[in-house]
Amino acid sequence: MEKNGIGKILNLGSSSSGNLYYVELLEQSRDKPFIIVIEAGFSYNEILRRFTKERIDINSVDAFLISHEHNDHSMGGRELASRGFKIYAPYTIEYATKTIVENQWTHLDKNIKVLGIPLLHQDKGKDIYNLGYIISIANEFNMLYVIDTRYIPQDLSQYKFDVIFIEANYLEDKVMWALRDAKRRKNKGNIARYTRLVNSHMSLENLARTLDGSLTEDSKPFNLSKTKLIFLTHLSSGALTNESYYKIFLTEYLKQTKKKTKYNDAKIVVCKKDGGFL
């Protein structure tokens, strides 16, 4: 292979109904891509169906990488493990082939490694152990994957990410209005639903503040000078107006704050709920 980077990327599902992302990692000493699938958020049969639809042999996958225990991220993991697939995941996934230890690098291949970073996720008031991932190829190419978190608690300003997969779950105004309405109507189900959303997922606006370092007084901006692609994942259909708005909003925001982030016209791509891109 000519250089380190990525080949084909497929979104095979991106929502609370299931997450599944296919990524070909190109490492110049290998004669073929190292294929990872991030998340296994459908049953094994459904994962197989989605692979078959894309004419991809599931047996070509070198590793599955799972972020946490919730079904929309791990449903098919146990059967995949029983069929001999390599599963890399945090300690909460007991069937994992290899446990990812937070803040330590784990090698997936000779020159391909992954760093687990702990994120902030809750379910029914309980903290859920959830890892984001930095995937590095030959210490030259870096990809960030972050999902199901209020924000990123770590300072990642020292990294130059080539590709970013990151959650943009909801629009703050819509969810805040929905929560106020639920409280006014004393609808306990919706109060719990929207409270959990705010405590467990990243809004589009929080994503923008995270990237430009304006989230808190101590936040530092991302260095987006090398970033070519930003994939927006896990959009919430219940809080969605128009998928195109997410792309337009973030593109314009990054253009206006490019002095801080060194934004270099990275392409913003929306991962659609049932697969594919916008």
173 belongs to a structural domain: yes
Closest CA to 273 of 249, 238, 229, 228: 238
Q: Are 239 and 169 in contact (CB under 8 A)?
A: yes
Tokens of 79: 């059967």
pLDDT at 239: 47
Number of domains the chain contains: 1
- What is the band of 3 on the pLDDT scale with cuts at 50, 70, 90? confident
**Residue 153 scores a pLDDT above 60:** yes
Dihedrals φ, ψ of 200, to 5°? -125, -10
pLDDT at 2: 59
Helix (H) or strand (E) holding 211: helix 204-212
Contacts (Cβ under 8 Å, ≥6 apart) of 36: 23, 25, 61, 62, 63, 64, 65, 108, 135
233 belongs to a structural domain: yes
Q: Which domain holds residue 157?
A: 5-270
276 belongs to a structural domain: no
- What is the band of 57 on the pLDDT scale with cuts at 50, 70, 90? very high
CATH number for position 232: 3.60.15.10
* pLDDT tens by residue, 122-149: 888 889 999 999 999 999 999 999 999 9
Dihedrals φ, ψ of 166, to 5°? -150, 145
Distance CA(190)–CA(194), nearest Å, equals 6
198 belongs to a structural domain: yes
